[in-house]
A and B are shown apart, each in its own frame.
Chain A
Amino acid sequence: AQKVTQAQTEISVVEKEDVTLDCVYETRDTTYYLFWYKQPPSGELVFLIRRNSFDEQNEISGRYSWNFQKSTSSFNFTITASQVVDSAVYFCALDTTDSWGKLQFGAGTQVVVTP
């Protein structure tokens, strides 16, 4: 069975601080994809980044960066120099060969950025 755990319920920061969101996943599949989505108050889930299970190279895209470690089954996400517009709920999701296309989401982490 697949499972995604986001232990942080809410994170509050002041603008320009960095924010790191934790994600721990469980799967027995060797081929899978991990995603981060952002959900602003409007409700739409916005795709941010993805990583496949064969590529542990960490990357940076603008103010976003991610740290994927298979050894600890973690896929953490960092927002650098946070802005008020980053305030949203962030979800980590898992897609595996056992159930392609059926995203398994974590419970989400509420990020509050204050000026």
Chain B
Amino acid sequence: DAGVTQSPTHLIKTRGQHVTLRCSPISGHKSVSWYQQVLGQGPQFIFQYYEKEERGRGNFPDRFSARQFPNYSSELNVNALLLGDSALYLCASSLVAGGYQPQHFGDGTRLSIL
């Protein structure tokens, strides 16, 4: 079975631009979460979606938004990019939203802001 897939793998943008990152969960998983991982740090939670509804939001500005589609895939959008948005963006999926079921992560999208 395919794992969590993310696209694109790498992305280079300039300050002020907009970016869309995509994620396809493991088949059967209804929960998708997004994390930002700055170099040398642990991942920081951004959003969680379950059954197409937002279930949680981390401490990120409104420039960050996300949505989940009927097929449970998800998009993360970031507007007005800043240098500090340079990071590895990880998508994770799980059967349900939290608890015993572990989250399974994709390879991530490496976003570089020039």
Asked if residues A33 and B100 are in contact (CB atoms below 8 Å), the reply is: yes
Decide: B107 and A107 in contact? CB cutoff 8 A: no
Task: Give the residue among B33, B94, B105 with the most A Cβ atoms within 10 A.
Answer: B105
Is B21 engaged at the interface, CB distance under 8 Å to the other chain?
A: no
CB–CB A102/B102 < 8 A: no
Contact B98 A102 (CB under 8 A): yes
Q: Is A105 an interface residue (CB 8 A)?
A: yes
- Asked if B97 is an interface residue, CB under 8 A from chain A, the answer is yes
Give the interface segment out of A13-21, A37-45, A70-78, A80-88.
A37-45
> B residues within 8 A CB of A107?
41-42
Encode B12-43 as 1/0 by CB contact (under 8 A) with A: 00000000000000000001010100000111
Out of B50, B88, B107, name the residue touching A101 (CB < 8 Å).
B50
Whether the pair A43, B98 counts as a contact (CB closer than 8 A) is no
Is A101 in contact with B108, judged by CB distance below 8 angstroms? no
Residue in A35, A44, A52, A91 whose beta carbon sits within 8 Å of that of B107 in the complex? A44
Listed in ascending order, the chain A residues whose CB lies under 8 Å from chain B are: 4, 33, 35, 37, 42-47, 50, 52, 91, 93, 95, 99-108
Which residues from chain B sit less than 8 Å from chain A, CB to CB? 31, 33, 35, 41-45, 48, 50, 55-56, 58, 88, 90, 92, 94, 97-100, 102-108, 110
- 22 residue pairs A–B, Cβ–Cβ below 8 Å: A37-B105, A43-B107, A43-B108, A46-B105, A47-B103, A50-B100, A50-B102, A91-B42, A91-B43, A95-B99, A100-B98, A101-B31, A101-B50, A101-B56, A101-B94, A101-B97, A101-B98, A101-B99, A103-B35, A103-B45, A103-B92, A106-B42
